[in-house]
Chains A and B, each alone.
Chain A
Amino acid sequence: MLLDVNPIDAYKALYEGAFGTKNAFAETLVKATPLLLVGIGICISFRAGVINIGGEGQMVIGALMGTALALQIPDAPAEVIIPLSLVVGFIGGAVWGALAGALKAYFNVNEILSTVMLNQIAIYTMNYLLNNTLIDPAQAQLASRIPQTARLSRAADLPRLWMPTRLHLGVVIAVVLAILVYILLWRTTLGYRIRAVGKSPRASRYAGINVKRYVVLSLLLSGGFAGLAGITQVLGVSHRMITDGSASGFTGSAGFNGIVAALFGKLHPIGAIPASILFGALLVGANQLQRTTQVPSAFVTTLNGIVLLFVVGSEIWTRRRARRRVAVVSSEPTPPARQTAVEAEPAK
């Protein structure tokens, strides 16, 4: 009896908050969109055997660059400003990802290390730009200058799909891209090579694949999708960039949670779609739970952790069942070898 709340109400709130009403369901999809975009990027990099945990930083840089561009062309029509911003956002994230890729391929710097560091560097870059170069001119004159950009022109708003909810075009973009990435990975030579590099860098090298190039490429694409997630949040949801000094204030930790969604989806872009919705629902429902029952937010965080551990822990049964179905071999994507070192040699 530590917290004064009715448990039935709590679970009702969690479910209702995620799926109960039209608005709740729309919010779940809005939350799922960046998770899916980051997640499909993660599918590419993890398939190439590269662990990209730099989604947060890539989202931030993508959003910054896309926003900066949109601020430059306030009078452009929607047909110009939206695609252009999205592309620039993608490029921003791609650059940030490719940086980690190049460090890994050509300087042997482990990508877990570099992406963790690059996340922080992205945060400080964001704080600097939002406090100086990109600051809203209205804020620059106030004593309590809030580090945020001006609102982007209305033309830059992603079209809303399901009035009056916030559901925006981003969710369609994400789903379409998930399908395209699926085709890329399993229906093209490029995709085949990416996966080959992930399965065995050495065999790939003997087969004449330029492993280093594919390491960079996979991080570039992975970062690009995270950057797209970032700029989509700006164009679809916040309509400006704003910082509270951390990355998660802007990203909602989608750069991390997208990894979880991708792994839930078995590193398959199509599988990442329901996984993102599930995880988005959990996040949205949890906030609703706090509002309805006034449990401390810490309780909600703990709950999410437990659910996550339980789901990932229970995979063993799914896996056992899968193994009984012996037939499935080729299309059942077992996680690739985490052979992260390009020049891997068996150590003593």
Chain B
Amino acid sequence: MNKRLLLSLILVVVLAVPVFSVSAQDDEPFKVAVVMPSTVNDLAFSQSMYDSLLAVQEEMGGEEAFQFVYSENMFVIDDAATAIRDYASQGYNLVIAHGSQYGSSLQEIAPDFPDTAFAWGTTVDTFVDQGIDNIFAYEARAEEGGYVNGVIAAMLSESGTIGVVGPIETGDAKLYVDGFKAGVLSVNPDADVLVNYIQSFSDLSLAAAAAETMLDEGADVLTGTAQMVPGAIGKAQEAGALWFGTQADQTSLAPDVVVANQVYDWTVVLDEMIAKIQEGQMGGEAFAITLENGGELITFNEDYELPEDVLAAAEDAIDQIASGAITFSVDEEGMLNVEMGEPMMEGTAEATEAAS
């Protein structure tokens, strides 16, 4: 056994040497470690955090002031726990668990490292009620951008049939889908919103087949969330159906049919957390990216000519959500409710008229 192991290692060295070169060393900057479920280039949830960390690094003055390391593809929940513990023991200032499935691991680990700040997303739970005071929570109010996308989608759909491809019904995927549905129905209460959670985050061909099914059913507008949506986007492009993106800007995947995207930008949340940590607060607070604080942006595809009235209605919806005229709440059954403040009702009514 030993000899074989040795042989293996020699082989690995030989194979790998040309791949490597020497890297530089560091000073004493603010150090962040992040553990994420997918890859840093997934054009979705994990990438949004990676891009935001790069932005924060630039903001704070490069590697001398801010450094970060990451463990990607940590879909094995237990491996993520090991990584979190390891980072904490290495003295990182902030350890981010970027996935709702990692929360229970943090709950176990954080009390052992009172001098390290942790962050968990996406959730509102900081475990402060359990006496743990060094976990920040952050979430994306995905239903907000979902609602805006839904408003636009309903106005552009001619058939009134709109398809949504989701992974499993949880986390920001559920929020996005629920918000999108609410947005569509606010414009067109008779719209037929076809939702399919395909029970997979990775199966592109299943996502594609789900999208085809919706297209065959007469859908002329599609949306979807999580890493497997490129499958569905391809089908939208092929059929000339419109696409609405979320988590990241997906315009490059289908330049002809993407109308708008909800883009996550975590820098606002990261900036706040870093400021708190530098003041000595290690956790116990929940943050969210929203349309109001600029953590969620609706980006429009410049090559898609959006009619004036639709753009106006979209901007109106964004304004109303940002100003608190439209609010979202969740009841005990996990159902999303939309409440309209009084003065702004007209805005939505206008949008409805414009649609018809």
Q: Quick check: do A and B touch in the complex, using CB within 8 A?
A: yes
Interfacial residues, chain A to chain B (CB-CB below 8 A): 1-7, 10-11, 23, 27, 124, 127, 131, 140-148, 151, 164, 233, 237-240, 242-246, 248-250, 252-253, 274-275, 278, 283-284, 287-288, 290-291, 294, 296-299, 303, 306-307, 310-311, 314-315, 318
Interfacial residues, chain B to chain A (CB-CB below 8 A): 1, 4-5, 7-9, 11-13, 15-23, 37, 39, 69-73, 75-79, 81-83, 86-87, 89, 99-101, 103-105, 107-108, 112, 122-124, 139, 143, 167-172, 174-175, 178, 199-202, 330, 332, 334, 336
Q: Could you list some 22 contacts between A and B, CB below 8 A?
A: A1-B20, A6-B20, A6-B22, A10-B16, A11-B13, A141-B334, A142-B124, A145-B174, A148-B101, A148-B104, A151-B107, A237-B78, A238-B77, A246-B202, A248-B75, A250-B77, A290-B72, A291-B71, A297-B71, A299-B19, A311-B8, A314-B7
Shortest C-beta distance, A178 to chain B (Å), equals 16
- Report Cα–Cα, A96/B301, bound state, in Å: 50
Shortest C-beta distance, B198 to chain A (Å), equals 10
Residues of B within 8 A of A248 (CB): 75-76
Q: Is the CB of B76 within 8 A of A124?
A: no
Interface centre among A6, A7, A143, A311 (most CB of B within 10 A): A143
Find B20's partner among A5, A141, A144, A275 (CB 8 Å cutoff).
A5
- Report Cα–Cα, A1/B21, bound state, in Å: 6
A244-B23 contact given A143-B175, A144-B100, CB 8 Å threshold: no
Residues of B within 8 A of A164 (CB): 112
Find A245's partner among B78, B108, B199 (CB 8 Å cutoff).
B199
Q: Is the CB of B104 within 8 A of A151?
A: yes
3 closest A-B pairs by beta carbon, nearest first, are A143-B330, A297-B73, A7-B20
- Report Cα–Cα, A147/B103, bound state, in Å: 12
Residues of B within 8 A of A27 (CB): 82
> Which residue of chain B has its CB nearest to the CB of A283?
B79
Residues of B within 8 A of A239 (CB): 104, 108
Additional pairs, 9, CB under 8 Å, beyond known A239-B108, A306-B11, A307-B8: A3-B20, A6-B23, A10-B16, A141-B334, A144-B139, A164-B112, A239-B104, A250-B77, A318-B4
Q: Is the CB of B71 within 8 A of A290?
A: yes
Q: Is the CB of B72 within 8 A of A10?
A: no
Find B77's partner among A23, A242, A296 (CB 8 Å cutoff).
A242
Shortest C-beta distance, B127 to chain A (Å), equals 11
Q: Is the CB of B8 within 8 A of A291?
A: no
Find A11's partner among B9, B76, B167, B169 (CB 8 Å cutoff).
B9
A2-B16 contact given A239-B104, A294-B69, CB 8 Å threshold: no
A244-B9 contact given A144-B171, A287-B71, CB 8 Å threshold: no
Residues of B within 8 A of A249 (CB): 75-77, 101
Q: Is the CB of B170 within 8 A of A131?
A: yes
Find A242's partner among B4, B18, B104, B112 (CB 8 Å cutoff).
B104
Find B69's partner among A5, A147, A252, A291 (CB 8 Å cutoff).
A291
Residues of A within 8 A of B143 (CB): 143
